Amino acid sequence: MQGAADSAALAALSKFEESGSERIQIGKDAFEANIASSGGQISASPDVQLSETGATVTASIVVETVMLGLVNIQQMEVGVTAQAVYAPKIGPVCVLALDRSADQAIDIDGTATFSANDCVIHSNSRSDTALVAGGSTYAEADAFCAVGGHSGSGFTPEPERNCSLVADPLADLEMPIASSCDYLSKSFNNGTHTASPGVYCNSLRVNAGANVTLDPGVYVIKDGPLTLNANSTVVGNGVVFVFMGSNAYLNLKAQSNITVSAPVFGEYTGLAFVQDPLSSADETSSIEGGGNLQIDGAIYLPTQALKVGGEGEIGLLSDFMPIIAETVKFHGNAQVTVNINGANDDEDDILTEVRTGTPRLIL
């Protein structure tokens, strides 16, 4: 029964992404499974309590005595207690790969220089190569962490293994209603333009020589990509792009220029690029450097891959640019910087924390 209680306390803490009630049930199920696998004939109902620091499991049974019956003690209560504490937190996550099985879920390759200031790079993948640094790349962050393992020697500090799964902090984000199209296959060509929020169907393309100012609001990119070609320019404050439908993804080409900031209030506070997880899954969005790129807002592509690379500086001037995607690849020889220092209280909700290692028993 003590072994079952120990297992239950650890199990209740092992699923960090689950709710409290779900973790309590996980602990109870582990207790009963452990008793059953041991072949014991014990029937006990464990009590599982969660706190800010860990879990406590207690259980007791009444047993019939044998020798003590001779002194008129026919029964006695046997009780056990197990207490486990959480693995330590290591800080806010600013790059998160959600895929739970992919090899190279976060891949830093080429001669790229990658830095994340005061935050954690985390992969939910259980693969032995969940985090990879290849080529002559250099990657520096507050910490690197993976549910699985890592390969490569370009990390500073060395990545942690066996980290907890990190729940998608935006899983409950509501998508806009986009039943009709406001614009169809919209293209901006050479010259100065102003764009308005709305539903852009088939594609939204900004071509070379076009200089586009975005009015604040929600830009739904439906059934096609958002493409910024080389030598194009897009500027906007309080804007968010939402990718919906089929074949909808982000395509910022090399030498394109973008300076955008996310909304500061409402449903999409702090979000610059958002993919509907039920739309355009398995597509690949890309950000290629070489131009002037300043994105102040989160990039959220929960069922798409994101490739970031090329040349030049990416994110250096962005005060808040966390990345959440199915998988993330940094490549080329760009200097990529991920900052979260400019986050306000509402934007902090996008930044979940990760735990490293495994829970441990203390009693």
Q: What letters, b where the CB count within 10 A reaches 16 and e where it falls short, cover 193-212?
A: eebebbbbbbbbbbeeebeb
Q: How far is CA 280 from its chain centroid?
A: 18
pTM for the whole structure? 0.85
Can you give the pLDDT at residue 206? 98
Can you give the pLDDT at residue 201? 97
Q: Which residue has the tokens 């895929």?
A: 99
Look at phi and psi of residue 26 and say left if phi exceeds 0, alpha if psi is from -120 to 50, else beta: alpha
Spell out the residues 6+ positions from residue 69 whose beta carbon is closer than 8 angstroms to its own: none
Can you give the pLDDT at residue 334? 81
Q: What stretches in the chain show pLDDT beneath 70?
A: 15-17, 40-41, 68-69
Can you give the pLDDT at residue 312? 79
d(CA 151, CA 161): 11
Can you give the pLDDT at residue 68? 67
Per residue in 30-66, pLDDT (tens digit) is 998 988 887 766 778 899 999 988 999 999 888 777 7
